[in-house]
Amino acid sequence: CLGGLVKHVASTEESWLRFVVEGPSAMSFELPEGVTWEDFGAGTASTYPQWAIDRQNDFQVLPGETLAGILARYEEVAARTEKVVASLTDLSVTHPLPEAPWNEPGAVRSVRRVLIHVIAETTQHAGHADILREAVDGQTST
C-alpha cells in the first residue's frame, strides 16, 4: 500500500541517519535468546525481535494511523535529515556496519555512501509508488 511505502521510506531514512550520527549502535539486529538466524529466515522462530516487527509494520497502515499522520512523520524525518546533513563537515567519515547476516563482517560505510543509499532507496520507492498510482488512476507519467 502507498501509505506503507511512505512509512518504510521514512523509517529507512531515519535509521540510516541515526547510523550517521551514532554509528552501529543505532542499528541493532539482536535476536531473542534461543532464536537463530536460520529460524528467523525460515519464518519458524518462536518469537521475533521488536526491530523485525517494526519493519514488518512499516509496510502497512495500522489501525489508528492516517495518511496525514504518515505524511507528517515523513516530513519530520526529512527535516531532521536536513539538519543532520547541514551539520556534517566530512562525508568520508566511516562507521562499521552492525553485525547481521546481510552485512559483510568488518564492512564499513561512509557518510557519503549512506546518503547515496538513502537517496537511491527513496527514488526506488517513489517508482513503486508511481506504479501503484498508475494502477489506481490508469494515467501514465510522461
The confidence score (pLDDT) of residue 134 equals 85
Mean pLDDT across 86-99: 95
Mean pLDDT across 87-111: 94
**Is pLDDT above 70 for 15?**
yes
Domain boundaries, the chain: 2-137
At a CB cut-off of 8 Å and minimum separation 6, what does 37 contact? 31, 101
Strands 94-96 and 108-110: antiparallel
Domain 2-137 architecture: Up-down Bundle (1.20)
16: pLDDT confidence band, cut at 50, 70 and 90? very high
Helix residue ranges, H only, 23-110: 37-42, 50-58, 67-87
At a CB cut-off of 8 Å and minimum separation 6, what does 44 contact? none
Summarize pLDDT for 24-61 with one digit per residue, the tens.
Answer: 999 888 889 989 899 898 988 888 988 888 888 888 88
The confidence score (pLDDT) of residue 9 equals 95
135: pLDDT confidence band, cut at 50, 70 and 90? confident
Write the Ramachandran bin of 63: left for phi over 0, alpha for psi from -120 to 50, otherwise beta: beta
Q: Which residues pair with 108 in a beta bridge?
A: 96
Rounded distance between C-alpha atoms, residue 3 and residue 80, angstroms: 20
**Is pLDDT above 70 for 142?**
no
